[in-house]
Each structure stands twice: as C-alpha cells, then as structure tokens.
C-alpha cells in the first residue's frame, strides 16, 4: 500500500489515508497491512478498531484529533 500515508501510529496499529478514505493498518513484522477502510465517520472507524482488536488506550490515541467525518479531515489537511 505505497500510496497510503500513515499519519498516526502506536504500537502495531496505525491510521492512514489513501486520499479517498481512512485506512486502519496493522504492522506485520516490518510491513503495514490494511485491515479496514472507512470513508464515512470517525465513529465507524472506532467501531472497526474495536472489531479488529485495537484496545482502548491505543484506539483513543489513534482517534485523537480526528474530526467527525473523513470529508472534514480531508478538508483540514489540504
């Protein structure tokens, strides 16, 4: 996933963007693997994190500062 831009990471988890959506990534050895894709809301990203086993302290860190929607986030990083 060379086009993904990781913008926050902690332990074996990261949140990235490919320009069209948020991408939840998990480290496997020395590589990152995309495990969920969310184009809509921060709350959905949080639910995906829980479903994939991201524990609360790490999930809270990864979600910190993200706006309510991907579109709001994308506007803020332009």
What CA dihedral angle connects 27, 7, 40 and 72, to 10 degrees? 170
Please indicate, yes or no, if residue 75 is contained in any of the structural domains: no
Q: How confident is the model over 36-60, as pLDDT tens digits?
A: 999 999 999 999 999 999 999 999 9
- Structural domain range at position 49: 5-66
Please indicate, yes or no, if residue 21 is contained in any of the structural domains: yes
Please indicate, yes or no, if residue 74 is contained in any of the structural domains: no
Please indicate, yes or no, if residue 72 is contained in any of the structural domains: no
Please indicate, yes or no, if residue 25 is contained in any of the structural domains: yes
How many domains, the chain? 1
pLDDT of residue 77: 86
pTM exceeding 0.95: no
CA distance 64 to 78: 19
pLDDT of residue 3: 62
Please indicate, yes or no, if residue 71 is contained in any of the structural domains: no
């Amino acid at each position: 996933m060379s086009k993904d831009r990781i913008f926050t990471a902690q332990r074996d988890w990261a949140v990235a963007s490919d320009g069209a959506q948020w991408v939840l990534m998990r480290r496997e050895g020395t590589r990152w693997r995309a495990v969920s894709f969310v184009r809509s809301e921060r709350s959905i990203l949080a639910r995906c994190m829980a479903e994939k086993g991201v524990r609360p302290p790490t999930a809270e860190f990864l979600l910190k500062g993200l706006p309510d929607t991907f579109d709001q986030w994308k506007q803020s990083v332009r």
